[in-house]
């Protein structure tokens, strides 16, 4: 439980990244080096543990230290599903395992099915700007169906996409932001009403489009994660309070998901983001029940859909 302006509350984080050893090995390969520990040391970060079980313990201690009940941990390189699976298997009641999928290579549909069915993962993450594809492409539609059948969610990163670790390691990020418009999800979400979609960072710059999308598609959820520095693209730059106020008006507290966008150690869980968002929502005068939904209730609900066989603990 965590202390909040509304009293003690169960808090779950809908957005954190799993920077596993295999994740860093993947980046090291792109950088043509094998020395993962020196590469991570250059970043000033703690070297990743040898085993995912150890990393899972580290994250558990981190969540315990803050009183966070549970967190999404997203494998953040295509092909790193096994790491997320290891973490979830080690502490099934503390984490929701998500995985990044590149639908442009390999066999994405069986891969997604296996991740949900055999690896116990709960969310499929698409980054259309990264691999330069459109979520509207009908070749992807079976993916949305696989997620719905498994009772799992599809996370779609829209808006401005920067991957801090890539920039700091001097790795190129040849992304294409023209695939980043949340409106691309409009028809997709309407044609797949059984699939739950999550748009992170309040659209990361496409705030208006995200609100339009969520107002028309009841199966679209929106996460509040990170510092939401995309506000600087708007004039006049809205305050976080204005942004959250508008999101509450249009999306409603039943579809907003608190998230931090935590990732590496020693920084660990980003408590400052939590405190800022608590304070912002307190000023907006939301009720205890509404806060409980945003800070964990909504996530818990969509992770354990009613009537699905694989209910959580
Ligand atoms: Zn993130």
pLDDT of residue 71: 98
pLDDT of residue 180: 97
Rounded CA-CA distance 157/129 in Å is 8
17 assigned to some structural domain: yes
Report the separation in Å between the CA atom of 76 and the middle of ligand 1, taken as the mean of its atom positions: 9
Report the separation in Å between the CA atom of 232 and the middle of ligand 1, taken as the mean of its atom positions: 18
- Tell me which residue range forms the domain holding 94: 2-303
CB of 171 closer than 8 Å to CB of 27:
yes
87 assigned to some structural domain: yes
pLDDT of residue 176: 97
140 assigned to some structural domain: yes
Rounded CA-CA distance 297/279 in Å is 19
310 assigned to some structural domain: no
How far from 75 is each of 63, 137, 171, CA to CA, in Å? 18, 24, 19
Report the separation in Å between the CA atom of 15 and the middle of ligand 1, taken as the mean of its atom positions: 6
Contacts of 4 (CB under 8 A, 6+ apart): 11, 278, 291, 295
Supply the CATH number for residue 133's domain: 3.20.20.140
19 assigned to some structural domain: yes
Which residue, chain included where needed, has tokens 């099915």? Answer: 113
pLDDT of residue 202: 98
pLDDT of residue 313: 37
| Chain centre distance of CA 172 | 22
Report the separation in Å between the CA atom of 101 and the middle of ligand 1, taken as the mean of its atom positions: 14
Domain count, the chain: 1
pLDDT of residue 311: 39
311 assigned to some structural domain: no
The pTM assigned to this predicted structure is 0.96
313 assigned to some structural domain: no
Return per-residue pLDDT of the chain as tens, 313 residues: 999 999 999 999 999 999 999 999 999 999 998 899 999 999 999 999 999 999 999 999 999 999 999 999 999 999 999 999 999 999 999 999 999 999 999 999 999 999 999 999 999 999 999 999 999 999 999 999 999 999 999 999 999 998 889 989 999 899 999 999 999 999 999 999 999 999 999 999 999 999 999 999 999 999 999 999 999 999 999 999 999 999 999 999 999 999 999 999 999 999 999 999 999 999 999 999 999 999 999 999 999 865 444 434 3
36 assigned to some structural domain: yes
Report the separation in Å between the CA atom of 198 and the middle of ligand 1, taken as the mean of its atom positions: 12
Helix axes 52-66, 81-90, angle to 10 degrees: 60
pLDDT of residue 306: 53
Report the separation in Å between the CA atom of 229 and the middle of ligand 1, taken as the mean of its atom positions: 13
């Amino acid at each position: 439980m965590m202390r909040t302006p509304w009293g003690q509350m169960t808090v779950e984080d809908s957005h954190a990244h799993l920077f596993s050893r295999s994740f860093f090995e993947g980046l090291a390969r792109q950088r043509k080096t094998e020395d993962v520990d020196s590469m991570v040391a250059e970043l000033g970060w703690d070297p990743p543990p040898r085993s995912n079980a150890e990393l899972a313990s580290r994250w558990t201690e981190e969540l315990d230290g803050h009183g966070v009940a549970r967190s999404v941990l997203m494998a953040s390189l295509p092909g790193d599903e096994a790491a997320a699976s290891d973490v979830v298997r080690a502490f099934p009641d503390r984490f929701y395992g998500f995985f990044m999928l590149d639908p442009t290579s390999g066999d994405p549909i069986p891969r997604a099915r296996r991740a949900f069915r055999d690896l116990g993962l709960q969310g499929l993450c698409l980054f259309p700007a990264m691999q330069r594809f459109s979520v509207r492409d009908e070749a992807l539609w079976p993916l949305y169906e696989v997620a719905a059948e498994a009772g799992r969610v599809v996370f779609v990163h829209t808006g401005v996409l920067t991957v801090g670790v890539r920039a700091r390691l001097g790795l190129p990020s040849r992304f294409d932001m023209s695939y980043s418009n949340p409106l691309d999800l409009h028809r997709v979400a309407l044609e797949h009403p059984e699939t739950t979609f999550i748009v992170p960072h309040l659209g990361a710059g496409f705030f208006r489009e995200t609100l339009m999308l969520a107002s028309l598609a009841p199966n679209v959820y929106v996460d509040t994660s990170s510092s939401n520095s995309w506000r600087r693209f708007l004039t006049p730059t809205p305050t976080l309070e204005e942004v959250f106020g508008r999101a509450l008006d249009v999306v409603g507290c039943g579809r907003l998901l608190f998230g931090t966008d935590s990732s590496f150690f020693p920084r660990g869980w980003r408590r400052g983001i939590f405190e800022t968002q608590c304070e912002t929502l307190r000023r907006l005068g939301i009720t205890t029940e509404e806060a409980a939904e945003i800070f964990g209730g909504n996530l818990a609900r969509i992770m354990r859909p009613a009537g699905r066989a694989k209910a959580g603990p």
